[in-house]
């Protein structure tokens, strides 16, 4: 038999990219080739694709090489059915959020579990895209249940590159440089338009007074005409810039008869589109494996990551420089005669640049493993791994800055914190693989044990009253007034097993279970079992199947249980006390939280049914999956009687259901000698419903204008319904017919839902769409000789965004002159007048009663945010090997990311939503922003990136 290296389309479920795998080929009497499917990663091992009975998506390293990205998560954007990747903004660094088959938690984590080279990690931040050999996404319970209590939100498996035994040394180098700019510049009013709106607002106020609709104001100051300052400031010019991003990576592989190794080093430097926003990350990775005998080998995979950032001040709220530049009046100057930012009765956007912030992370980790085969069929493996992440955060507000002042006196403030997070993992597995009945029956068995422990340490200190702007460290502070330190720890012990039977390459059965014990819970609830089962039937291998153009037709189904303990507090189910001070300022202890002995982790039940179809010599590949996933025992803090001394108690109260369909298509339309054309697309529909939350009301609000309610999806909005701008006098009446309010032409009309003649919180209704139910991606690739072109896109349908910033920036000069009034967006100029009645922008008005009525939180600012975004266009050229001498291959490329976005959303970016950038996901804390997504608070938009790059292999 010959061994032939063949480049295959990763069809059907694996449509994301192209896979390179060694294939055994044998020729029969008809000269046809019989192919053996490539191997894919599953939990704690690998399987042939034809034996897989779960829902798994794959991306290969070749995709990353041809369409390079700055972060691993971006490689998945629009590429995998059921995987929703949102790039939440244009800040320097990684701003992506991943959801797999919807969101199934309220207060625990909605993030997937990341496994890199077999080791669980909190994120993919320690991984350079160039180091990836392959990536699998386990979407259904049968695939993910082997990871038990952390797999409810799916699992992302990553295998990094390694050398080859008896392989020649090789060096790879890649470099790219790009510039980035805001994806769409916002249109704001200039000084003349700003004054015009104020003048109209004043005139409308005067007209209503003259008509007796409104009383005269107590002070005539409100009616003072706005002065023409002769200043026209474009605040965005003081905040935005053209950023730059550089990415350099070098790797080395080598291998001998008994050893192999892979080493890489990379560095990314990024200057964001906001002045002063800088980010750098350096990574190094070393993978080494050594054979001591044919049946025994050891290895170690290590990495080091150093991150340095100068993040934007107040990036986690609405006061960062971009949002302030949107709101700053254009008729005022940015700087005073002294060269310092002017001080107004609003927040000058330039104040943000006065704060000095430094955020540094160092991460180091290693995985040592040993593999022993006492006989051919048995493999024993033990691994010991650990990760250490340390952080140093420093903030300084100099004495002569506005933030550093104290009651107008130069003062100064400093803050310094450190964190040291550690975890270690010990795992042992034994596997047995054996063929019976002339190898028609194949049995694969895996059993294992795992123990992981996490420790988080944190300390901080604050000081004030600094003698100089040039002495930023706390040693210079006259007063050290605050500080703290603490350490928490938690652990997880596990036992797991899996058995798989395959008969005659037609029938597959897989059974698995994991038994997890967590230190987070009280006795009696520490342990949980997470079983799963799946079956597959390769119909095309049956004797009766005689369809010549179908290469493979496979049916599969699975059912299993998974859990979620990530994000649950380390003491969530324990009765603990903490030290502190009592009311007499004496040291003492007290119970920290109301004890709930019945608390346990969330548990998900998932069913999946799918088919894989490959046709026309595997040039057309289709995969379809139906799933139904229910998460029970949702964690939420229920209110408790005040006599307990507490406001709430963490409890298991609810149920969320996610069901949907996923379709992926991969085709090779043209497969000629010189010209090739590939096309792929995927479609996902996810219906999310909150079935139960355990409160008497059946709902609760979550801030801003969102709601979690039984019978509605997560990401729902809760607000009054705007019916438009009145074209004529409109009256509200109560149930007796009495007029309760009169709306003048040009003012807003709202739906009086309960008919009491009053518009208030009782008239709020639910609107869906904060999380899009339909999403997917489209990609195509053309190649002609040495030249190739690829285009990738993603889309989102059914998505809505509440443009909260419009509450102030379509306010029609609501506060009036000379009081501060936010600048407004260009849409404001379409305000109602008798000559412009067909508009959704009410008339400008200085009266608080009118402006507050017109600008209250309502569906007026809730917009359709469906979009189609071209995420990547890359054109590359591969040089002829015969012209390169000692260089094995060389490729140059030009790339643009996010060049086009097609959407009806009037804001800058339909993909941007509020995210607390300071909230780090860990075993102890959760990222719950996905539950309340869909609000645009003038977050920093996404960016367009124009890059040139080079890949060289020696």
Task: Express each pLDDT in 792-828 by its tens digit.
Answer: 999 999 999 999 999 989 988 877 666 668 899 999 9
746: pLDDT strictly greater than 90: yes
Residue among 365, 291, 323, 289 nearest 122 (CA): 365
pLDDT level of residue 923 (50, 70, 90 thresholds): low
**pLDDT digits over 711-741, tens only?**
999 989 999 999 999 999 999 999 999 999 9
> What's the confidence (pLDDT) of residue 272?
92
Q: How far apart are CA 189 and CA 228, in angstroms?
A: 15
**pLDDT digits over 520-542, tens only?**
888 888 899 999 999 999 999 99
155-160 and 113-116 beta bridge pairing = parallel
Q: How far apart are CA 638 and CA 632, in angstroms?
A: 16
For 563-572, 584-593, 831-840, 934-943, which range has the lowest pLDDT when averaged over its residues? 584-593
Which phi and psi (to 5°) does residue 75 adopt? -65, -20
**pLDDT digits over 779-797, tens only?**
999 999 999 999 999 999 9
Q: Quick one: three-class SS letters along 244-294?
A: EEEEEEEEEEEECCCEEEEEEEEEEEEECCECCCEEEEEEEEEEEEEEEEC
> Which residues are CB-neighbours of 733 under 8 A, at least 6 positions away?
739, 740, 757
> What's the confidence (pLDDT) of residue 927?
59
26: pLDDT strictly greater than 50: no
> What's the confidence (pLDDT) of residue 77?
84
Mean pLDDT along residues 184-203 = 94
Instruction: Fill in the DSSP letter of residue 596.
Output: -
> What's the confidence (pLDDT) of residue 49?
83
Mean pLDDT along residues 582-587 = 68
> What's the confidence (pLDDT) of residue 921?
58
Cα→Cα distances 855→3, 747, 841, 844, 845, Å: 71, 10, 10, 11, 11
**To the nearest whole percent, how much of the chain has pLDDT over 70?**
90
Residues in the chain: 954
**pLDDT digits over 443-498, tens only?**
999 999 999 999 999 999 999 999 999 999 999 999 998 898 988 899 999 999 99
Mean pLDDT along residues 312-339 = 83
Could you tell me which residue, 709 or 86, shows the higher pLDDT? Answer: 709
> What's the confidence (pLDDT) of residue 573?
67
Q: 818: cis peptide before it, omega within 30°?
A: yes
**pLDDT digits over 862-921, tens only?**
999 999 999 999 999 999 877 777 888 999 999 999 999 999 999 999 987 654 444 455
**pLDDT digits over 600-625, tens only?**
888 889 999 999 999 999 999 999 99
pLDDT level of residue 32 (50, 70, 90 thresholds): very low
Which phi and psi (to 5°) does residue 523 adopt? -60, 135
**To the nearest whole percent, how much of the chain has pLDDT over 90?**
61
Instruction: State the chain's maximal CA–CA distance in angstroms.
Output: 101
Q: What angle do CA 53, 57, 60 make, to 5 degrees?
A: 125
**pLDDT digits over 290-316, tens only?**
999 999 999 999 999 999 998 876 555
Mean pLDDT along residues 645-670 = 88
DSSP string, 406-442: ETTEE--EEEEEEEEEEEEEEEEEEEEEEEETTTTEE
Most confident by average pLDDT, 63-77, 235-249, 473-487, 577-591: 235-249
Where are the strands (E) in 519-647, listed by range? Answer: 527-529, 532-538, 550-564, 577-581, 587-591, 602-615, 620-639
DSSP string, 780-816: EEEEETTEEEEEEEEEEES-EEEETTHHHHTS-SSS-
**pLDDT digits over 374-383, tens only?**
999 999 999 9
Beta bridge partners of 364: 304, 388
Q: How far apart are CA 440 and CA 433, in angstroms?
A: 13
């Amino acid at each position: 038999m010959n061994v032939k290296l063949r480049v295959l389309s990763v069809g059907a479920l694996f449509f994301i990219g192209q896979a390179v795998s060694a294939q055994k080929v044998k020729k029969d009497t008809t000269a046809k080739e019989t192919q053996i499917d490539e191997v894919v990663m599953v939990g704690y091992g690998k399987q042939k694709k034809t034996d897989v009975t779960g829902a798994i998506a794959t991306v290969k390293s070749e995709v990353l090489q041809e369409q390079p990205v700055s972060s691993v998560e971006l490689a998945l954007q629009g590429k995998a059915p059921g995987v929703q990747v949102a790039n939440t903004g244009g800040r320097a660094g990684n701003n992506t959020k991943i959801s797999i088959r919807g969101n199934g938690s309220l207060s625990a984590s909605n993030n997937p579990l990341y496994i890199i080279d077999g080791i669980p990690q909190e994120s993919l931040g320690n991984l350079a895209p160039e180091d990836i050999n392959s990536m699998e996404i386990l979407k259904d319970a049968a695939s993910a249940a082997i990871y038990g209590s952390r797999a409810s939100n799916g699992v992302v498996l990553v295998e990094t590159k390694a050398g080859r035994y008896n392989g020649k040394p090789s060096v790879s180098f890649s470099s790219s440089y790009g510039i980035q700019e805001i994806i769409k510049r916002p249109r704001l009013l200039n000084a003349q338009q700003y004054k015009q709106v104020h003048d109209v607002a004043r005139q409308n106020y005067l007209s209503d007074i003259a008509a007796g609709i409104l009383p005269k104001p107590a002070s005539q100051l409100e009616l003072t005409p706005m002065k023409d300052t002769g200043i026209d400031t474009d605040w965005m010019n003081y905040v935005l810039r053209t950023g730059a991003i550089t990415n350099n990576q070098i790797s080395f592989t080598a291998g001998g008869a008994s050893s192999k190794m892979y080493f890489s080093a990379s560095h990314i430097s990024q200057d964001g589109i906001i002045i002063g926003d800088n980010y750098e990350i350096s990574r190094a990775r070393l993978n080494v494996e050594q054979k001591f005998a044919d049946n025994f080998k050891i290895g170690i995979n290590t990495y080091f990551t150093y991150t340095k950032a100068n993040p934007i001040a107040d990036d986690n709220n609405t006061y960062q420089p971009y949002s302030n530049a949107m709101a700053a009046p254009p008729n005022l100057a940015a700087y005073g005669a002294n060269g310092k930012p002017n001080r107004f009765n609003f927040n000058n956007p330039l104040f943000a640049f006065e704060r000095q912030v430094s955020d540094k992370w160092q991460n180091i980790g290693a995985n040592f493993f040993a593999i022993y085969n006492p006989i051919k069929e048995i493999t024993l493996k033990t691994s010991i791994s650990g990760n250490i992440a340390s952080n140093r955060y420093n903030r300084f507000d100099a004495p002569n800055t506005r933030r550093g002042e104290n009651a107008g006196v130069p003062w100064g403030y400093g803050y310094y914190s450190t964190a040291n997070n550690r975890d270690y993992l010990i795992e042992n597995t034994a596997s047995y693989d054996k063929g019976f009945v002339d190898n028609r029956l194949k049995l694969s068995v895996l059993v294992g044990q795992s123990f992981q422990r996490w420790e988080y340490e944190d300390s901080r200190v604050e000081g004030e009253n600094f003698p100089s702007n040039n002495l930023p460290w706390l040693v210079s502070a006259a007063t050290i007034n605050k500080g703290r330190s603490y350490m928490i720890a938690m652990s997880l012990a596990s036992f797991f097993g899996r058995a798989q039977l395959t008969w005659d390459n037609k029938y597959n059965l897989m059974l698995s279970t994991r038994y997890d014990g967590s230190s987070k819970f009280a006795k009696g609830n520490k342990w949980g079992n997470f079983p799963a089962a799946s079956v597959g039937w390769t119909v095309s291998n049956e004797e009766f199947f005689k369809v010549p153009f179908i290469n493979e037709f496979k049916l599969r189904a699975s059912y299993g249980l998974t859990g979620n303990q990530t994000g649950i507090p380390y003491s969530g189910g324990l009765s603990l006390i903490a030290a502190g001070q009592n009311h007499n300022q004496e040291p003492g202890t007290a119970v920290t939280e109301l004890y709930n002995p019945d608390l346990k982790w969330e548990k998900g039940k998932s069913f999946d049914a799918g088919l894989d179809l490959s046709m026309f010599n595997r040039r057309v590949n289709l995969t379809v999956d139906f799933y139904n996933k229910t998460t029970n025992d949702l964690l939420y803090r229920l209110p408790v009687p005040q006599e307990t001394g507490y406001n709430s108690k963490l409890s298991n109260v609810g149920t969320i259901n996610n069901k949907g369909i996923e379709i992926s298509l991969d085709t090779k339309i043209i497969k000629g000698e010189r010209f090739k054309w590939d096309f792929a697309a995927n479609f996902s529909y996810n219906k999310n419903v909150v079935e139960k939350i355990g409160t008497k009301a059946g709902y609760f609000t979550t801030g801003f204008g969102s709601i979690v309610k039984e019978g509605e999806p997560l990401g729902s909005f809760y607000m009054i319904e705007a019916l438009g701008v009145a074209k004529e006098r409109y009256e509200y009446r109560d149930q007796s017919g009495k007029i309760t309010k009169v709306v003048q032409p040009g003012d807003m009309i709202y739906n009086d839902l309960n008919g009491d003649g009053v518009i208030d919180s009782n008239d709020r209704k639910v609107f869906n769409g904060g999380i899009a139910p339909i999403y997917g991606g489209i990609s195509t690739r053309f190649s002609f000789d040495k030249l190739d072109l690829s285009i990738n896109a993603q889309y989102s349908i059914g998505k809505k965004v509440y443009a909260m910033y419009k509450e102030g920036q379509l306010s029609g000069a609501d506060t009036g002159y000379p009081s501060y009034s936010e600048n407004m967006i260009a849409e404001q100029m379409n305000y109602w007048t008798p000559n412009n009645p067909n508009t959704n922008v009410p008339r400008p008005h200085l009266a608080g009663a009118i402006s507050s009525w017109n600008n209250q939180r309502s569906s007026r600012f809730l917009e359709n945010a469906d979009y189609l975004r071209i995420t990547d266009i890359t054109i590359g050229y591969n040089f002829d090997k015969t012209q390169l001498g000692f260089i094995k291959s060389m490729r140059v490329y030009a790339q643009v990311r996010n060049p086009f976005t097609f959407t009806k959303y009037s804001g800058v970016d339909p993909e941007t939503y509020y995210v607390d950038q300071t909230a780090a996901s860990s075993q102890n804390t959760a990222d719950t922003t996905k539950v309340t997504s869909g609000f645009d608070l003038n977050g920093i938009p996404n960016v367009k990136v124009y890059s040139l790059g080079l890949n060289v292999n020696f």
